[in-house]
């Protein structure tokens, strides 16, 4: 099937041609006629299937020749990254039309977003929480809304957005078209679709727990302490040129990025503790090819669109098989090929087996030739129990030293300079490091100082 057969208007077709899209993806071929016909759609589609075009192209098409000034479509998404991505795709698809969109998400100033809502921007792409903030302030009118899209609905539920979604729904007309996209269809999602959709056209191109066949997947069994060395080696040898690397925690993401930097490998990090500006910059640098490595936590596993991304590396084995499918979905998008490597320590063997059960097949094991698998290596982080034991030991030593000092002190300290009052006055610092003027740092001296 060609795009021309889809009854899209010439301005939309021109945009698609500009992007070099030759034919609709399977999801687009199924969804676009249904959306144009005004039907509700239930799409079981992962990122990379072309689902964004599947809902944006017919929405833009429907609005293109209509009067401006009222919001006609609302797209709810789980993360700000996905909101920014959908907005970017919108701009590409709508470039030859007068249709406009705005993205509404947290972490940035609300003022310009409120202006866009007040103007009645044609298409609003929003995360539920921030949109609700605006609605609570009386900003945003959706009485003329025609189409609601829930994108990555499973993710929104995972992130606990269901109550917010329900509150947003109260501000929307009951009579509307609803398009529901989800990579997986667990029972909670099925229940929500029954509630929100009327006689939907169901598009289920791929079984939910499979990864696209264009992606080569491999497990690299390796000791926990050698994971960073193995990754460095894969990058140095050119087995991996550019990769999105996932870690289990923000802390590990930070430590790994530092470790790569120490090895002379440029890496940015992107996780929940990074500001929006930092995240956007890291993504831009990565997409532009200026950075070989982007280290990320699962929060960004969906919603990042990195075209022609060659490698995804699971530095830690994902705890949920479903997360594995989503992470691996970053690569090999829309027909491109990619490789997904998972570094698995002996302690993660069970998790690997669970993923293989979900995929219904065993993943190949690979070893890197001439890599010293017996080296001692260096742990990325000191295990929590060990860190706690170390803190306890230091505290016990401090207490013992303080006690020893107390016992050595004569019964009458003699001079006022040695008195606790004087120590407080000095802020507890050695004489040579006293602050100028000898003024007390009250908080620190009183033991309230924050480290
Ligand atoms: P998503 O919409 O997130 O599933 O991502 C689809 C990816 O494939 C994006 O990089 C799109 O630019 C690209 N894409 C979407 N539709 C097509 C198409 N018909 N032909 C080729 N690439 C496409």
Give me the CATH number covering residue 63. 3.40.50.300
Among candidates 70, 272, 56, which has minimal Cα distance to 151? 56
Query: Of 326, 355, 384, at which residue does a domain stop?
Result: 384
User: Looking at ligand 1, which residue's alpha carbon is closest to its atom 3?
Assistant: 47
Which position has the token pair 């640098």?
285
CA 65 to centroid of ligand 1, rounded, Å: 25
pLDDT surpassing 50 at residue 282:
yes
Please determine, for residue 346, whether its predicted confidence score (pLDDT) is greater than 90: yes
The residues with which 217 forms a beta bridge, in sequence order, are 340
Give the tokens for residue 256.
């790994």
β-partners of residue 220 are 343
pTM (2 d.p.): 0.56
Under 8 Å between Cβ of 198 and 342? no
Residue to mutate (ligand 1; options 20, 25, 46, 181; most atoms within 8 A of CB): 25
Rounded to the nearest angstrom, the distance between the alpha carbon of 330 and the centre of ligand 1 is 12
Q: What is the pLDDT of residues 157-189, one digit of tens each?
A: 877 889 999 999 999 999 999 999 998 888 888
| Number of domains the chain is built from | 2
**Domain-located, residue 269:** yes
Same domain for 276 and 189: no
Residue found under tokens 């497990």? 219
Mean pLDDT on 219-231? 95
Ligand 1 is surrounded, with C-beta below 6 A, by 21, 24-25, 28, 47-53, 305, 307, 333-334
Let me know: does 318 contact 351? Beta carbons within 8 Å.
Answer: yes
State the Cα–Cα distance between residues 49 and 59, nearest whole angstrom: 18
Note down the domain range covering 258.
215-384
As a whole number, the mean pLDDT across the chain is 83
The enclosing H or E element of 154 equals helix 153-158
Segment 74-104, tens digit of pLDDT: 999 998 888 998 999 999 999 999 999 999 9
Largest CA distance in the chain: 98
Q: Rg (Cα) of the chain, in Å, rounded? A: 28
- Is 230 found in the same domain as 198? no
- Is residue 146 domain-shared with residue 248, that is, in the same domain? no
Provide the pLDDT for residue 410. 63
Q: Are strands 243-246 and 311-314 parallel, antiparallel or unpaired?
A: parallel
């Amino acid at each position: 099937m060609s795009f021309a057969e889809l009854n899209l208007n010439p301005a939309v077709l021109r945009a698609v041609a500009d992007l070099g899209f030759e034919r609709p993806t399977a999801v687009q071929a199924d969804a676009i006629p249904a959306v144009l016909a005004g039907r509700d759609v239930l799409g079981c589609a992962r990122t990379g299937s072309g689902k964004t075009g599947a809902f944006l192209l017919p929405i833009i098409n429907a609005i293109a020749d209509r009067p401006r000034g009222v919001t006609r479509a609302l797209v709810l998404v789980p993360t700000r990254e996905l909101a920014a991505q959908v907005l970017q795709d919108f701009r590409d698809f709508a470039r030859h039309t007068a249709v406009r969109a705005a993205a509404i998400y947290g972490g940035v100033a609300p003022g310009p977003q409120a202006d866009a809502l007040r103007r009645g921007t044609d298409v609003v792409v929003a995360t539920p929480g921030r949109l609700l903030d605006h609605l609570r302030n009386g900003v945003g009118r959706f009485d003329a809304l025609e189409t609601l899209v829930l994108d990555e609905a499973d993710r929104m539920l995972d992130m606990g957005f269901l109550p917010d979604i329900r509150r947003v729904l109260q501000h929307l007309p009951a009579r509307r078209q609803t398009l529901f996209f989800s990579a997986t269809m667990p029972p909670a999602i099925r229940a929500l679709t029954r509630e929100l959709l009327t006689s939907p056209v169901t598009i289920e191109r791929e079984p939910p727990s499979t990864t696209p066949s264009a992606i080569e997947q491999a497990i690299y069994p390796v000791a926990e302490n050698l994971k960073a060395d193995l990754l460095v080696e894969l990058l140095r040898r050119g087995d991996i040129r550019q990769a999105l690397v996932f870690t289990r925690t923000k802390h590990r993401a930070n430590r790994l990025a530092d470790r790569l930097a120490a090895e002379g490998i440029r890496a940015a990090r992107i996780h929940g503790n990074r500001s929006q500006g930092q995240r956007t910059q890291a993504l831009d640098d990565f997409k532009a090819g200026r950075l070989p490595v982007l280290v990320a936590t699962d929060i960004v596993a969906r919603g990042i669109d990195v075209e022609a991304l060659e490698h995804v590396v699971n530095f830690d084995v994902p705890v949920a098989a479903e997360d594995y499918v989503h992470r691996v979905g970053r690569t090999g998008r829309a027909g491109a090929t990619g490789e997904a490597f998972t570094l698995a320590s002996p302690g993660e063997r069970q998790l690997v087996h669970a993923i293989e059960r979900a995929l219904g097949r065993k993943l190949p094991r690979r070893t890197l030739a001439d890599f010293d698998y017996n080296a001692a290596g260096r742990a990325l982080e000191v295990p929590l129990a060990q860190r706690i034991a170390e803190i306890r030991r230091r505290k016990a030593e401090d207490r013992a030293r303080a006690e020893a000092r107390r016992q050595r002190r004569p019964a009458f300290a003699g001079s006022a300079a040695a008195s606790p009052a004087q120590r407080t006055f000095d802020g507890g610092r050695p004489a040579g490091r006293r602050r100028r003027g000898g003024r007390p740092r009250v908080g620190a001296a009183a033991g309230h100082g924050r480290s």
